Structure 1
């Protein structure tokens, strides 16, 4: 149904959340490309309030994050983690800034997919935001924690389903 030659549409319709990864390392070059994709997300007033913290396997901070989520097994298997924050000083509208963090996250997930990597947006961990900031050694007055991305070489096929578009429309799609 969504077989597109256009690479952007192919990535949007083909990307899935990947929660299991092989032991193959993620290259620094790939992670830099993923972070650059996040950097190019749209933001209100072009304020670019997002801040990223990249963590590699073996980093004691990555290990400490495992105690902050019920999904520790996903973190343990990842080839890289990206913690996404908002810089409170750069923010101007909480709603718009939260939306732009989501846009940056989606850009990074699409970039990972385009590079043949897999990733998952971990949201449950935000329920432990104060603990996350503490184990990462970050000031909660300076940063608002938005999400954690686990990235790596896929060790599973992703799957997903979506409601029909008609169920999501308010009104009909007519000219």
Structure 2
């Protein structure tokens, strides 16, 4: 966990189907309220024409274009029971996938800004806005950078001492 970083630059090398399957499996095992598992996944490989369409839906187009694949994480509206809890579950699902990608030696980044225009992004993917809600796109590939990050000390995050 402490070594995982957001990677925004990728080599041109592909990601194996087995690696993608392992990442999706990690997401599938995230906790969800009532075990409803409302998340749905769509993998958009670089060769897929929707990959460029997806890039056009975000100010981070260069990240999407350089990725070997993007994993779109969505919630199926009919499977949801609590908006807050289902969004929390989607976050856990996404974190599981980011950790799995890191464990496989891949680089990945959680793109959140792309969800700001749901109608355009879902249309680019050929999906129904009435049925699905996009939670994030995970751009991934072979890393072409070292990630860096810092964290606030725990004492700054505590509301009271324990």
| Structure 1 runs of 4+ with >6 Å offset | none
Alignment partners' CA distance in 1, 2:68 and 2:98: 14
> How many residues matched?
162
Aligned twin of 1:9: none
Equivalent residue number for residue 7 of structure 2: 18
> Offset of 1:146 from its aligned partner?
0.4
In 2, distance between residues paired with 1:17 and 1:162?
14
Alpha-carbon distance in structure 2 between the residues aligned to 1:28 and 1:81: 13
Separation (CA, whole Å) in 2 of partners of 1:119 and 1:67: 19
Cα offsets for 1:72-124 (capped at 9, x unmatched): 00001101100110000100000000000000000000000000001000001
Q: Tell me how far apart the structure 1 counterparts of residues 17 and 127 of structure 2 sit (CA, whole Å).
A: 23
1:21 and 1:172 map into 2 onto residues whose CA distance is: 42
Question: Gapped runs of 5+ residues in structure 2?
Answer: none
Structure 2 equivalent of residue 143 of structure 1: 132
**1:42 alignment partner in structure 2:** 31
Which residue is equivalent to 1:115? Answer: 104
1 CA distance for matches of 2:11 and 2:35?
A: 37
Q: Does 1:91 align with 2:80?
A: yes
Instruction: Specify the structure having the higher radius of gyration (Cα).
Output: 1
Secondary structure class of the residue paired with 1:150: strand
Distance of 2:126 and 2:117 partners within structure 1:
14
Gaps of 5+ in 1: 1-11
Give the deviation of 1:130 after TM superposition. Answer: 1.1
Length-normalised TM-score, structure 1 = 0.91
TM-score, normalised to structure 2, is 0.99
Query: What corresponds to 1:82 in structure 2?
Result: 71
